[in-house]
Structure 1
Amino acid sequence: MKYLKTIAAMSLLALCLPAAPALADGPVAAREEAQEQASFAADRETILAMAGDYRVRFDMQESTPWRASYEPLDRKISGGYESVRVIEDTGSRIVLQHLLVVDAGGEPMVIKHWRQDWEYEPARILTYDGPNRWIWSDVPERMRAGRWSQTVFQVDDSPRYAGWGQWETTNGVRRWRSNWTQRPLARRDAVRHPVYDLYASINRHQLTPDGWIHWQDNTKMDLVDGEQQPVVQEYVLNTYTRFADYDVGAADAYWAATQAYWQAVRAAWAAAFDRNGGIAIEEEAETGTVISGELLQMGSDIEAGTLAQSDAIARAVALITANTSAP
């Protein structure tokens, strides 16, 4: 009898407790066609709003060590100027190219920076699978509706990482949050030859009144006998604040001179992904892929007028073909 009374009390308590929150990564609830179209239009508007000219603040902080012997790095803050341009928009696919503008002895120098490709309701994404390897990963079918993937590419247009998530408005803030993704080490870490080998991450993009933020939640992982072990937690907040009081024209001039070359480079990488069912390419700490330095230099030489675009494209295709294989 005492047992039955306890069960009855627990049942009453359950009725009084608030319902458990819905899983954040569950399927997007079915919507009417008009709602779907409105949501799609709002998503596109948000992604396109990330284009523009910015002062950027990079704020990196290692925090919680998961390995007792590891001492977290001191916080590092840096910054610069970045122009973000829409270089492709087919409706369900939007490509944003970042161009970093730095001062080189009183003259502006443009560095082709990272690229982000957004795709609506993708069937698969190109994900990092460990050192030197990227593979095609299926997006679960029930998780595709209403969601966008973001694939990030390195400065030479080789792949870096990819994830998928839903744009939504929470507490008045428009944001996108990825699923868990794996990423290769950033140059800032790779050049130190650290004890960790890759990042397990969640990425967030959020609009702000004067720009947008990219927030990275990184667990730095060590590969031990093929198993991943956490070493330290890192929080990265990149803040893009609208600002055009720098040589924006230098960024646009560089892109006008080199965009056809980089379009051919993107096509050569895409052909390698399809040909190999993913990709394997050797990486090095200083430059990313082993061919990154030459690909970037050819872009600079085209802008300077010292290299013919056709010769650069032929060399780039040969480099990508020769240095990539199946993962």
Structure 2
Amino acid sequence: MKPIYQTLGASLFALAIAVSPALADRPVAERTTAAEKASFDADRADILAMAGNYRVRFNMQESTPWTADYTPIEPKRSGGHEVVRVIEDTGRRIVLQHLLVVEDDNDKPYVIKHWRQDWDYEPAKVLVYAGDGNWVWEDVPERMRAGRWSQTVWQVDDSPRYAGWGQWETQAGIRRWRSNWTWRPLARRDAVRNPVYDRYFSINRHQPTPTGWIHWQDNTKMAEENGKLRPIVQEYVLNTYTKFDGYNVKAADDYWTKTKAYWAAVRGIWDEVAAKRGGIHIAEKADTGTIISGRLLEIGDDVNSGKLKDAAAIGEARKLITEATAEPPRVAIRQ
């Protein structure tokens, strides 16, 4: 006969497995109209509060290897100055654009268009990564839509990266939004190393802090072998945004003023492709993201400098995106 603690432990473990998915993914409890509005307003305030001027620290650390033949790489630390601006706010939809400000060899500011995050309230579907250069539409379960927001993250050229949905809530006195499990392609920091893994399976968190906000990621790095996916190593990423304006913020705002019409058109072209083709397929390169990312950013720089007018820039961008996404998206192997 097994000792009682073993029997009890096994029973509790089985019970936890049985109930935990339901507890983790239960619908938002019904609320009064007033409570719903208060929650919606609080969510919006937290999202809008991510806009501002920041000193950013990026901390990435592989921790637990899930296979005996893999050794975690050394932690990576970096940082910079980042401006975040609200470029769209229709109430139930908020779009935040990130712009990095760096200095060139002559100590002059140079602006790099960085990532973008779109927040949508009670979404019916999201554009998710499906492996091997493919993004497809995925329905949000109907019972999980009420009271929740999706966050879709786009790459520097406004091509898709990943999307998830979740609820803003308060736990232990701290407000946070946590995504469902999401797939995403390799970041350039990993892709250039030609690693054994080729995608991440992740949970994404955003939390306001007294001095700004944090973006926390729990990434399981996965590899495909013999038609199946297996975990390679765990990675934890903590990006800290601290309010700070002791750098050339004006350079970022000037860049955006000059290029926002071009980038609005680029966003629209990607949206057209995703709607028309049921998703997006585009090849990627380790050092640039998509195969057209470098040129789309160069066009933005040419618009900023006055070398290209909006009409010519948008025409070239449309041709680049249309040709690069000619192949229909497909769902690759997923867990």
Q: TM-score per shorter chain, which class?
A: over 0.9
- For 1:94 and 1:228, the matched residues in 2 are separated by 35
- Matched with 1:323 is 324
**Structure 1: any 5+ residue segments left out of the alignment?**
1-5, 15-19
- For 1:281 and 1:162, the matched residues in 2 are separated by 17
- For 1:186 and 1:261, the matched residues in 2 are separated by 25
Deviations 1:289-313 (A, max 9, x none): 1110110000001111111111000
Identity within the alignment, %: 67
Taking structure 1 as the reference length, the TM-score comes to 0.93
Offset, 1:287: 0.6
Deviations 1:200-222 (A, max 9, x none): 00000000000000000000000
Offset, 1:24: 2.5
- For 1:226 and 1:288, the matched residues in 2 are separated by 25
- Matched with 1:42 is 42
- Matched with 2:257 is 256
- For 1:131 and 1:119, the matched residues in 2 are separated by 26
- For 1:186 and 1:177, the matched residues in 2 are separated by 20
Q: How does 1:201-280 map to 2 (within 5 A)?
A: 201-280=202-281
Q: How does 1:100-249 map to 2 (within 5 A)?
A: 100-105=100-105, 106-249=107-250
- The residue type paired with residue 194 of structure 1 is P
| Pairs aligned (count) | 311
- The residue type paired with residue 315 of structure 2 is A
Offset, 1:225: 2.3
- For 1:225 and 1:113, the matched residues in 2 are separated by 36
- For 2:166 and 2:228, the matched residues in 1 are separated by 27
- Matched with 1:53 is 53
Offset, 1:223: 0.9
Deviations 1:197-254 (A, max 9, x none): 0000000000000000000000000011231100000000000000000000000000
- For 1:283 and 1:66, the matched residues in 2 are separated by 27
**Structure 2: any 5+ residue segments left out of the alignment?**
13-18, 330-335
After TM superposition, which residue ranges in structure 1, 4 or more long, deviate above 4 angstroms? none
- The residue type paired with residue 328 of structure 2 is A
- The residue type paired with residue 290 of structure 1 is I
Deviations 1:130-157 (A, max 9, x none): 0110000000000000000000000000
- Matched with 1:17 is none
Secondary structure at 1:28 match in 2: coil
- For 1:124 and 1:63, the matched residues in 2 are separated by 33
Taking structure 2 as the reference length, the TM-score comes to 0.91
- For 2:25 and 2:35, the matched residues in 1 are separated by 20
- For 1:227 and 1:181, the matched residues in 2 are separated by 17
Secondary structure at 1:315 match in 2: helix
- CA RMSD in angstroms comes to 1.4
- For 2:179 and 2:293, the matched residues in 1 are separated by 27
- For 1:304 and 1:204, the matched residues in 2 are separated by 37
- For 2:328 and 2:265, the matched residues in 1 are separated by 21
Please state if 1:62 is matched with 2:77.
no
- The residue type paired with residue 28 of structure 2 is V
- Matched with 1:295 is 296
Secondary structure at 1:73 match in 2: coil
- The residue type paired with residue 24 of structure 1 is A
Q: How does 1:67-86 map to 2 (within 5 A)?
A: 67-86=67-86
Secondary structure at 1:205 match in 2: strand
- For 1:243 and 1:125, the matched residues in 2 are separated by 33
Offset, 1:326: 1.6
